[in-house]
Chains A and B, each alone.
Chain A
Amino acid sequence: MIKKLIVILLASLLVLLVLLSCKKRVEIKPPVPPPTKVEKKAMPVEEVEETPAIAKPALTEEEIFKAKTLEELNIEQPLQMIHFDFDKYDIREDAKPILEKNAEWLRRYPTVKILIEGHCDERGTEEYNLALGEKRAKATRDYLVILGISPDRIKIISYGKSRPLDPGHNEIAWAKNRRAQFIIIAK
Chain B
Amino acid sequence: MRVFKIFLINFIILSIIVITVFNQQEVVIKIKGGMPTIPVALPKFIIHSDNIEIIKAAQKIREVLQADLKFSRVFELVPEEFYSYIRPLNPQNIFFKDWESIQSNILIVGEVASSENNKLIFNGSVYDVRSGRFIFGKKYRGGIKLVRLIAHKMADEMMKAFGEKPLFTSKIVFVSDRDGNPEIYMMDYDGYNQIRLTYNKVIDLLPSLSPDRTKIAYTSYRRANPDLFIFHIYTGKTIPISTQGTNYAPSWSPDGKRIAFCSSRSGNHEIYITDESGKNLKRLTFNKAIDTSPDWSPTGREIVFTSDRGGTPQLYIMDAEGTNVRKISYGGTYHDSPSWSPNGDKIAYVSRVENRFDIYVLDLRTNQIIKITENNARNENPSWSPDGRHIVYSSNVSGTIQLYITDYDGRNTKVLTSKGNNKMPDWSH
Contact = CB atoms under 8 A, between A and B. Distances in A.
Interface of A: 122-128, 130-132, 134-135, 157-160, 162-163
Nearest to B354: A123
Contact of A128 (B264, B293, B423): B293
A163 to B, nearest CB: 8
Contacts of A163: 203
Contacts of B224: 157
Given A131-B269, A162-B205, A126 B292 contact: no
A131 to B, nearest CB: 4
B226 A126 contact: no
Interface in B244-261: 245-246, 248-249
10 contacts: A124-B352, A125-B293, A127-B337, A128-B313, A130-B205, A130-B262, A131-B262, A158-B226, A162-B205, A163-B203
A123 B334 CA distance: 11
Given A126-B380, A131-B264, 9 more contacts: A125-B380, A126-B205, A127-B306, A127-B336, A128-B306, A130-B246, A131-B262, A157-B224, A157-B246
B355 interface: yes
A157 B226 contact: yes
Contact of B290 (A126, A128, A160, A162): A128
B295 to A, nearest CB: 11
Q: Is the interface of B mostly helix, strand, loop or mixed?
A: strand
For the complex of A and B, the 10 pairs showing the least CB-CB separation, nearest first, are: A125-B336, A131-B290, A127-B293, A131-B269, A128-B336, A127-B249, A158-B246, A127-B292, A134-B246, A128-B313
B182 interface: yes
B73 to A, nearest CB: 28
B228 to A, nearest CB: 12
Nearest to B181: A162
Interface in B326-342: 334, 336-337
A125 B350 contact: yes
B290 A159 contact: no
A117 B260 CA distance: 26
Contacts of A157: 224-226, 246
Nearest to A121: B355
Contacts of B205: 126, 130, 160, 162
B262 A127 contact: yes
Most chain A C-beta atoms within 10 Å of own C-beta, residue among B306, B313, B423: B313
B357 A125 contact: yes
B148 interface: no
B350 to A, nearest CB: 6
B390 interface: no
A64 to B, nearest CB: 28
B337 A126 contact: yes
B355 A134 contact: no
Contact of A126 (B225, B334, B355, B424): B424
A134 B182 contact: no
B178 to A, nearest CB: 15
A131 B380 contact: no
B215 interface: no
Interface in B216-266: 224-226, 245-246, 248-249, 262, 264
B264 A162 contact: no
Contact of B292 (A128, A159, A162): A128
B378 interface: yes
